[in-house]
Copies of this chain bind each other. A is one copy, B any other.
Amino acid sequence: MRPFAPITGDPIDRSRFPVDEWALIETRFSADDLGVTESLFSIGNGYLGLRGNYSESRDAHVDGTFINGFHETWPILHAEEAFGLARVGQSIVNVPDAKVIRLYVDDEPLELSSADLLEYERRLDFRTGVLTRELVWRTPSGKRVKISTRRMVSFTQKHVASIEFAVTLLDGRAPVQISSQLLNRQDRDLEHPAIETPSGTIADPRKAERLGRRVLLPEVSEIGETTGRMRLGYRCAESGMTLGVSADHTLEAPAEVSTQLHCEDDLTKIIYRTHLEAGQTLRLTKLVSYHTAHRVPARELLDRCERTLDRVGEDGLARLQADQREWLAAFWKRADVRIHRQPELQQAVRWNLLQVMQAAARAENQGIAAKGVTGSGYGGHYFWDTEIYVLPFLTYTSPYAARNALRFRYQLLPHARRRAREVSQKGALFPWRTINGHEASAYYAAGTAQYHIDADIAYAISQYVDATGDTDFLWREGVDILVETARLWADLGFWRRDNGTSSFHIHSVTGPDEYTTVVNDNMFTNTLARFNLRRAAEAVHEIRSEDPDAYDDLVRRTGLTDDEVEEWADAARGMSIPFDKKVGIHPQDSRFLDREMWDLENTPVSSRPLLLHHHPLVIYRFQVLKQADVVLALFLQSEEFSLEEKLADFRYYDPITTGDSTLSAMVQSIMAAEVGYHELALQYFLQALYVDLTDLHANTADGVHVASVGGVWCALVNGFGGFRAKGQQCWAFDPRLPDDWEGLDFRLNLHGTRLGVELTRDQIRFEIEDGPGPLTLVVRDEEVVVAPGEPVTVALPDQGPRIDGRPPNPAGTVRADGTAISSTVPHAD
C-alpha cells in the first residue's frame, strides 16, 4: 500500500520456502537473513521460547532463549527529570542456551555458512510442533554426513524442551565428536525499549541499555559425574528473578563412546567421542527443563527442574511428542481457519495462528509479550496489543488462555492503583508497557499518556465474558478492573458546558495513533472509555441483582458506592465524541481537523517511515497517522456507528494513515471490508499476513509481531467473515468474502459451544461442531438458530457493499464549503 509496495501474487520465494499447508519449510541455507529465519523458525509455548538458531550456534543473528517475564530491572535515566516519569526499566533476559550441540567430524566443525551442504531442509511442522532440520554435509575431507535434528518446546509440559541430534556417516569411517552444552553468554546489553519503526528501532548505538555489568549472577554450575545431568542456576542482579536450567542426555551409539564432562561458570558441557562407519548413526537426545521464579533460590528451582526431568524422562520422549501432536490436533480442531484452495495463503495463515499459541499457550501467570518468546524486541514487554489484537483469537478459540491473560492484569491491579495515585487520579491506571507491573514507558507522550489501555483491558474482559459466559471470573476478579478503570475515567474527565449542552471531556491523553500525542477528546479513547464506564455500571448492577453476596464482597474489596456507579453512567451518557458536521467525520481528537494535512501520497519513499526522518513535533503538527485510530474505534464499537459514518471516516483517514505501525493493517482490512473497499481489504490483509513471513517492516529479526499475527485472525473472521459480537450473546455476521476466494471457514467457541462457520460466495453455513448449543445468530438482518446436528445455511446475494479502488488523496482537495484542504509535504532532513 502506501508505505510498502502492494503485494501482488505470491510474495514468498518458493524456490526456498515451498508451499505446504501444514509446515513452514526452508530448503536452502542463507546467511543473509539469519535474524528473520531465526524468528520464523522459533518454537515456544508462551513460557519458554527457543529462537530458530542452528544447534551449532556459530551462524546466528541472536542466539536466543527467552522465558516469558524473566527480566532484569534498571533505573530509567531521563535526560531531563520530571515528577511521575517511569522509573523502573525492565528488559527480558536472554537466558542460558540449551540449544547448543556442536559437531566435529574428522575434527572439522560443522559451520553452516562455510559448510558444503548437499542437502538442507528446515521445517516447522504445524501439526507436530516440532522443528526439524535435515542436512547432508560433505566434510572438508570429502565424507558425506547426514545430520538430523528435531527440536520441540512442549505445550503440555510447560518447563520442557527436547532436542534430538542424529549423525549418520554416509561414507567411509571417521572420528565423530558431539559437544552438548548449557551456555550462558553473559550479555551485558539489554534491549532498550526503543521506538517501533517499520525498519526496526531507531538506528542508534545506544538503543541497547548498556548495563556494563553482568545481568545473570551465577549461583550454581554443576554436572553430575555419573549421570551427566547438567545444572546451571542464576539470579538476576537487580530484579531478583531466579532461574534454574537442567539437562539430561541419552546417547544411542553403534560403537564405543568416550564421554567427557566439563563444568565452569556459565558453561557445562558433555563431549561424546566415537568412530562411525558408513551407515552408522550416533543419536543424542537432550531433555531440558527451565524453572524460573522471583526470589526463590536457584537451587530450589534446580530441584524442580530435576523433578520435571525425572518425570518426563520416565514417560519418554515418544510420549512427550505424542502429547504435543494431540495438543496441536485439538488446537487446530478448535481454532483452524481455512481459505479454500489457496495453499499459499493457507500456509501463511496457519503459521500466523500457531505463533499466537507459541506466545500464549502457557503464558499463564505472565502476560503475552509483543514478541512472545521469540526475541527481545520491545524488551519483552506487555502492551495493549494483548487485549486488542491477541485476545480475540484466544477468547473465541482457547478461552482458558484469554482468561489467564486477563487474570494477569488482575494481578497487576495493585500496581495500577498506585500508578493512578502517581498521576493524581482515582481508580487504576495500567502501565502502558511493563513486565513486572511498574510503568516502563520512558517517553510518556507516546506511553503513559495512552490511558486507553484501561479501556482496552475492560473491553477484553467484556468480550471474554460475553463470549464464554464466565461470570465466575467477572464477579470475582474482572469486575474489580471494570470498577477501578471506570473510576479513573470518571475522575480524569470533566464536564463542560458548550452552547447550552453539558458534555464529558477527557483531556491530555494519547490515542493508539502515536503520530499525534497528548490531545483532548481523542475519539478512540472517549469511545472506549464510554464503553468502559457503561460496562462497569452494568456489571455492578448485574452482580447486585443476581448475587448479593458477591456484591457485598465487591463493595468490601473496592469501597464501591451507589453514587459513583451513577456518576459513571452519567459520564458515559455525556461523553464527548468529536464529530465535525461540515466535514462529516469523527475527528481523531477535538482539534484534529485544525491541522494542516500531510500529503502522504506525494511524500517520497526516502522520507518514510516518518518518525525516522522528522522530529516528533513536526509529525504532531499534521493530519497524518501512524496507525488506525478512529477506524479502530469504529471496529471495536461497531454497533455505535452507522455504515455511513464508517464509510466517511474510513475514506478520510485511510489516505493519511502511514501504516508505520504493524498494528494498523489488520484494522484497515476489517473496516475496508465492512465499508466495501474489497480490494483494499484484501491488500491490507496481505500486509498483515506477511509482516513476518516476508519481513515487511524489516524488523522481524527482533522477534515475531505477535499483535499482527493475532490480527490476522481478526481480519479473517471479523473482516472477511464479518463477525461482530454485539453485546451479550448477540453474534452477528455480515460477510465480505474477497473476490477471488472460493471459501473460508473458521470456528468460534461461544459459551462452550464450538460453532463452525463456512463462508462461500453465495452462502454462509453454520454448524455446531462441539458442545451443547443451540446458538442464536444474526446474518445481516436475519436471525437464525443453530442446534447440534442441525446446520443452517443462509444464502448471500452478495458480499456486501462494493467500492472499487481506494479512497482518493484528500490533500489539496476542495471541500463542500469551497475551502481547500491545506496540505504540504514537510521537508526531511
Contacts and interface: CB of A to CB of B under 8 A. Distances in A.
A507 interface: yes
Contact of A78 (B79, B447, B621, B828): B79
Contacts of A824: 494
Interface string A200-224: 0110101100000000000000000
Given A448-B615, A822-B494, A827-B424, A518 B520 contact: no
A620 B510 CA distance: 13
Contacts of A518: 517-518, 617, 620
Interface string A459-486: 0000000000000000000000000000
A449 interface: yes
A86 B80 CA distance: 11
A824 B496 CA distance: 13
A582 to B, nearest CB: 10
Contact of A829 (B78, B195, B424, B612): B424
A614 B83 CA distance: 6
Nearest to A620: B508
Which of A78, A517, A824 has most chain B Cβ within 10 Å? A78
B424 A82 contact: no
A779 interface: no
Interface string A620-648: 11000000000000000000000000000
Interface string A415-459: 000000111111000000000000001111101110000000000
Interface stretch (A397-405, A589-597, A796-804): A589-597
A428 to B, nearest CB: 14
Nearest to A505: B594
A507 B596 contact: yes
Contacts of A508: 617-618, 620-621
Contacts of A86: 79
A590 B596 contact: no
Contact of A611 (B83, B442, B819): B83
Interface string A76-96: 111111111110010000000
Contacts of A617: 423, 444, 448-449, 508-509, 518
Contacts of A621: 507-508
Contacts of A584: none
Contacts of A581: none
A193 interface: yes
A414 interface: no
A82 B195 contact: yes
A294 interface: no
A194 B81 contact: yes
A410 interface: no
B618 A206 contact: no
Contacts of A819: 497
A826 interface: yes
A136 to B, nearest CB: 46
Interface in A790-829: 819-820, 822, 824, 826-829
Contacts of A494: 596, 822, 824
B594 A496 contact: yes
A343 interface: no
Contacts of A507: 594-596, 621
A82 B443 contact: yes
B496 A618 contact: no
A591 B520 contact: yes
B206 A81 contact: yes
Most buried by B among A448, A449, A518, A615: A615
A616 interface: yes
A520 B596 CA distance: 11
Q: How many copies does the complex hold?
A: 2
Contacts of A85: 615
A444 B615 contact: yes
Nearest to A509: B617
A79 B82 contact: no
A611 B827 contact: no
A193 B80 contact: yes
A495 interface: yes
Contacts of A496: 594, 596, 822
Nearest to A79: B442
A307 interface: no
A616 B444 contact: yes
A613 interface: yes
Nearest to A826: B424
Nearest to A206: B77
A611 B596 CA distance: 32
Contacts of A613: 83
A193 B81 CA distance: 9
Contacts of A80: 192-195, 441-443, 447
B614 A84 contact: yes
Given A76-B79, A77-B206, A84 B615 contact: yes
A497 B78 CA distance: 41
A357 B477 CA distance: 67
B827 A425 contact: yes
A574 to B, nearest CB: 12
Contact of A82 (B202, B206, B422, B828): B202
Contacts of A195: 80-82
A597 to B, nearest CB: 10
A202 B596 CA distance: 37
Contact of A615 (B75, B83, B89, B442): B83
Nearest to A828: B424
Contact of A424 (B83, B193, B207, B618): B618
Contacts of A618: 84, 423-424, 508
B424 A611 contact: no
A448 B421 CA distance: 30
B827 A421 contact: yes
A402 B827 CA distance: 35
16 contacts: A75-B206, A79-B89, A79-B442, A80-B192, A81-B194, A81-B202, A81-B206, A85-B615, A421-B827, A422-B829, A424-B829, A445-B445, A505-B594, A507-B595, A509-B617, A591-B591
Pairs of residues from A and B, 6 with the lowest C-beta to C-beta distance, nearest first: A79-B442, A84-B615, A80-B443, A497-B819, A80-B442, A508-B621
Given A496-B594, A505-B594, A520-B594, 12 more contacts: A80-B441, A80-B442, A81-B194, A81-B195, A81-B204, A81-B206, A81-B207, A82-B615, A83-B612, A423-B614, A445-B445, A494-B822
Interface of A: 75-86, 89, 192-195, 201-202, 204, 206-207, 421-426, 441-445, 447-449, 494-497, 505, 507-509, 517-518, 520, 590-591, 594-596, 611-618, 620-621, 819-820, 822, 824, 826-829
